[in-house]
Amino acid sequence: MVEETRVVIVTGGGRGIGKEIVKQLAADGYALVVADLDADAAKAAADELLAKGFKAVSVQGDVAKKEAHENFVKAAVDNFGRLDTYINNAGIAQVKTLQEETPEDMEKIYGVNVFGTLYGIQAAAAQFCKQDDGDKIRKIINASSIAGHVAFDLLGAYSSTKFAVRGLTQAAAKELGKDHITVNAYCPGIVGTDMWDLIDKKMVEEKGGYKGQYLKQYSKLITLGRVQTPADVADYVSYLASPKSDYMTG
């Protein structure tokens, strides 16, 4: 548990990994701004926390738009008075060969995964620099991926965006360190979510085979012998958001 209530924004917090992060950080004692493109999902996630006595508010917005991030920050300040941590969790995948990618495809995935991360960094840093926090550490946490370390076939565009997130994370860490802002990224592997169900389905369409085949195939590469759960990711994000990681950046 943190000693005082900290305020965190989680984008894509209405479902999947994001929702699990929201639940974990609420249990850790944070006040939550649950941001999602799906207003109903965001509200449902926030209402679930409120029903358990946690502090939460929901806000709808498209992370590919700069003004959405400014609205997320405004929601944090209006409801809780400040901001301590910003988690750029929202992301989308595409399963196509590089030959099939269109300008529209690339604009969409880069808009969400790369520009969405950049805008979140900008909005968070702007708010942090407005606050009179002395040498208190504030945090930006971004979602990269195993695909940001090793590119996968049929996930070329997605992989390239996650490599880009790693680059933004490292550069932001160097630029913002002087302002007592740390910037880190988490890199989930194969997580049992709707996104991987979609990836598996599209791979069957492209390569043949049967439902579940590719999830099973890639899972065999995992040392612990099982797919990652959203809770596994949330546990690590909990560490990154906590004071225990205050000396960790980039």
Active-site positions read 158, 162
Backbone angles phi, psi at 18, to 5 degrees: -60, -45
The 8-class DSSP code of residue 218 comes to H
Burial class (CB within 10 angstroms; exposed 0-12, middle 13-18, buried 19+) of 228? buried
Distance from C-alpha of 185 to C-alpha of 206, rounded to nearest angstrom: 31
C-alpha distances out from residue 210 to 101, 206, 216, Å:
24, 11, 11
Exposure b/e, 37-46, CB count within 10 A at least 16 = b: beeebbbbbb
Backbone angles phi, psi at 33, to 5 degrees: -110, 110
Distance from C-alpha of 119 to C-alpha of 125, rounded to nearest angstrom: 10
